Amino acid sequence: MCRNIHTLHNFEPAASDDEVHAAALQYVRKISGTTKPSKANTEAFEHAVAEIAHISRHLLEDLVATTPPKNREVEAENAKARSAKRFAAA
């Protein structure tokens, strides 16, 4: 089950279609309470993922950023540093 949907807005390069789809999949998994739907629910599950990915792509395209785009590598390094600090203190 997903634990975290990552921010996709204001990165350079922009979020890929795969990243948007992965976020939509995480969202649908979270709200449906399942990582793999039953055969009876597969069509509805996949349709929801596709629709959410579609509207998410539109949202990302329409948002206006007032700050410079973030660098993915720098953000990943910062996240690792925060994680190391948090788990080292435990």
Q: What is the mean pLDDT of residues 33-41?
A: 95
Q: How far apart are CA 11 and CA 69, in angstroms?
A: 5
pLDDT score for 90: 58
User: Angle at the Cα of 34 (from 29 to 40), degrees rounded to 5?
Assistant: 105
Write the CA distances from 22 to 3, 86, 88, integer angstroms: 13, 26, 30
Candidate ranges 2-6, 32-36, 44-48, 82-86; pick with highest mean pLDDT: 44-48
Backbone angles phi, psi at 8, to 5 degrees: -115, -10
Task: Please state whether the predicted TM-score (pTM) of the whole model is above 0.85.
Answer: no
pLDDT score for 64: 95
pLDDT score for 63: 96
Residues above pLDDT 90, as percent of the chain: 71
